[in-house]
Amino acid sequence: MKIEAGDFVVFNYVGRFESGEVFDTSYEDVARENDIYVEEREYGPLGINVGTGELIRGLDEALIGMEPGEKKTVKVPPEKAYGMPSPDLFVEIPTEEFTKAGLEPVEEMYVMTDSGIARISKVEGDKVTLDFNHPLAGKTLVFEIEVVDVQKGKEETSEGDVEA
């Protein structure tokens, strides 16, 4: 049974950069092998509704037409993933905002702000530049996906009854 938009799909994945470096996975052993294991995370297949915007577009599109047990490797360009970094999402703030809070700003450090999580992209004199872009913006991503299960979406009949 081929996956169509509206189906509920359960799948495993390994996400890599083009260099081959693993950045995310649903497999606990792969996470441990690649030093990205997170103790608090529950590893296992991911369940999503295809075609509803729950996934990045490139991965969503790649699942269409696959069947349970099928494996595929798909390359997802930034336009179908997290987009390109936006200059509008770089914000300069005074260094004293950190020092008042007893923090020393360090480049590449992530900080929680009132506007969400940001990466410190530059510390220069009395200014700190925060980057609010998604960490994967601008990157081409490679996913190895394996479909575990598919539950067909529900369609309404002309009488208003729901069929599976």
pLDDT class of 155 with cuts at 50, 70, 90 = low
Q: Which two tokens stand for residue 156?
A: 């309404």
106-138 pLDDT tens trace:
999 999 999 999 999 999 999 999 999 999 999
26-58 pLDDT tens trace:
999 999 999 999 999 999 999 999 999 999 999
Span 92-116, average pLDDT: 92
- Domain assignments of the chain as residue spans, ordered by start: 8-83+136-154, 87-131
Distance between CA atoms of 108 and 122, rounded to whole angstroms?
8
User: What is the reported pLDDT for 160?
Assistant: 47
| Mean confidence (pLDDT) of the chain | 93
CATH number 3.10.50.40 given to 8-83+136-154:
yes
63-79 pLDDT tens trace:
999 999 999 999 999 99
Percent of the chain with pLDDT over 70: 93
Distance between CA atoms of 95 and 99, rounded to whole angstroms?
7
CATH fold, domain 87-131, is Thrombin, subunit H (2.40.10)
Q: What is the pTM of this model?
A: 0.82
